[in-house]
Structure 1
């Protein structure tokens, strides 16, 4: 059966509308971004902060949204498309129902990953805090989709928030947030002089000493922004090798890494799936234990993981070695 074409213009307009209302391109309370840190001892008023950008936290919601769009793609006829096409932006109530479907266990898993990263950063002796309710999404999806005006407006809000919070340096935890803050914001924003370092760069810089060697074997998947744009390639590998990990390199790796299928999943779930299948098939040729370094890569590959390969975030493995 031929798949239906999604109303891309309406989807993009909807995302811009949600972003203006919620600060993220989905109708989700911003509480989910900082809820992981409640009850921790992270100070609030510091000039160096861990900056999550909300991507790990948004993964369960993106997953449900993508599943919904996939059901539209696979629907027979055009009735659903016509029904939702012109009224996409007004469907906040409907998308609120999608939010209800998000698994608390899945959200807690993402929170756990962030807490692991926090403990890894703490082990370096670095003094840092957290912005809590001012930890804002960077607008990366708007950037990826070429929504220049909406992205610029969003970026200006983030910059203003950082300046008002007295932030001078941020420690990022995913490739998308790192790339946007380190590379794109300085190009489009006046006086953006905040120091940006990714936590993998930070751990590598401090020459972390392993507490144990785990002698496990993994295939490593490089996210595009890390490998192609930020040159974060050696750092994660050295951190793993120091802990006795055997790294299996897939056919396309490092600077020549292959796309995981994201972020096109919110415009064409079927295309995203085909790309992810190609990549996962390539990865499992060397090992059925896979390390990802990006929440979106993990989500994309997990969506097509029919052979039940083990797909772990790198922080979960580093925790075994260094904590």
Structure 2
């Protein structure tokens, strides 16, 4: 049954999935072998952990490279579901899932504190029956993490500068459940997706704009009945810039490079808008050697924000060293997970005096 539902029979064991996997070189996750074993036998619960299913970041590099459209990343999600059903999951994953169910976010924070990041911004809180152009979905991480709150506040300033009519859900905002779905908790995802869809429709917005690529991807591709236009904030800001509604009066002197978030670039092909914005405010913009579809994963997706890998080294540290080697002083990104993993890598590599991590919205505000 599993082999049929994820098209495993089409696999020709070429190994491109394993070759594309960013964590394969440093962990026991071997995607080709996982497919082969799944075809050959019913894997035991103990074997799934040994084969590294929790190492996967859900970056979908394997899906992109497969010549037979097998979707190996989908297989890993289904195998994780088997572990969730048996209760054989890491305690940190369990805590994130329970917090999502109880509080509407995976960070263990109370719902009534969801809007504290904007307590002095006088935002338009959309009630049922309201009407607006843009429903800004802020994301759990941007709401609760002190570092990422700066990105959300910067985006609010940009939207107001451009005269955009927008509102937020406030305490009614509930996790998009992107990561929970990829952790294997399909039931929780379906329940929250249905609830969120009803909430979005009741606010009568013309479009949904997300701060996180993970929210953008799940609304766009995984919510079955949403039927509303969904945009990542860089797409909206690029549109406003092109229309002349968002103007910049200065340029940033530092050398800037851009890290493509997997869920924005690799999975949804949003490559040009972030670069167009950065080039508009940067005197010196340079590219990573591995960029766009080939961009290196930061290891923040697929639930990995809630589980520490047993493998050695971090891909985000490689990313930081690469940026330093090419004499960049700022790594820009457009994802709260990428921002956190890369900023942590700056600290673990003792590179605070050499490079910093900025969300694109923060850089744009500095150039207003």
Partner residue, 1:55: 141
| Paired position in structure 2 for 1:317 | 363
Which deviates more from structure 2 when the two are superposed, residues 251-260 or residues 21-30? 21-30
Query: Separation in 2 of the partners of 1:182 and 1:272?
Result: 34
Unaligned runs of 5+ in 2: 1-49, 55-87
What is the alpha-carbon root mean square deviation over aligned residues? Answer: 2.3
Residue 230 of structure 2 is matched in structure 1 by 196
Q: Does 1:40 align with 2:121?
A: yes
1:312 shift after superposition? 1.5
Matches of 1:271 and 1:297 in 2, distance apart?
A: 19
Number of the residue aligned with 2:82: none
| Pairing partner for 1:307 from 335, 351, 354 | 351
Q: Matches of 1:244 and 1:13 in 2, distance apart?
A: 43
CA distance in 2, matches of 1:24, 1:285: 38
> When you count helix as a share of all residues, which structure comes out higher?
1
Contact kept? 2:255, 2:329, Cα under 8 Å: no
The alpha-carbon distance between structure 1 residues 218 and 146, as it changes in their structure 2 partners (threshold 3 A), is same
Q: How does 1:1-323 map to 2 (within 5 A)?
A: 8-44=89-125, 45-47=130-132, 48-59=134-145, 107=146, 109-185=147-223, 189-190=224-225, 192-206=226-240, 207=242, 208-263=246-301, 264-271=304-311, 274-286=314-326, 287-305=328-346, 306-308=350-352, 309-321=355-367, 323=368
> What is the rounded CA distance, in whole Å, between the counterparts of 2:89 and 2:319 in structure 1?
25
TM-score normalised according to structure 1 size = 0.75
Deviates more, 1:204-213 or 1:161-170: 161-170
Alpha-carbon distance between aligned partners in 1 of 2:194 and 2:313, rounded to the nearest angstrom: 34
SS in 1 for 2:260: coil
Q: How many matched pairs?
A: 266
Partner of 1:76: none
For 1:152 and 1:245, locate their aligned partners in 2 and report how far apart those are by CA, in whole Å.
46
Query: Unaligned stretches of 5+ in structure 1?
Result: 60-106
| Counterpart Cα distance in 2 of 1:284 and 1:36 | 32
User: Partners in 1 of 2:321 and 2:210 — Cα distance?
Assistant: 30
TM (norm. structure 2) is 0.66
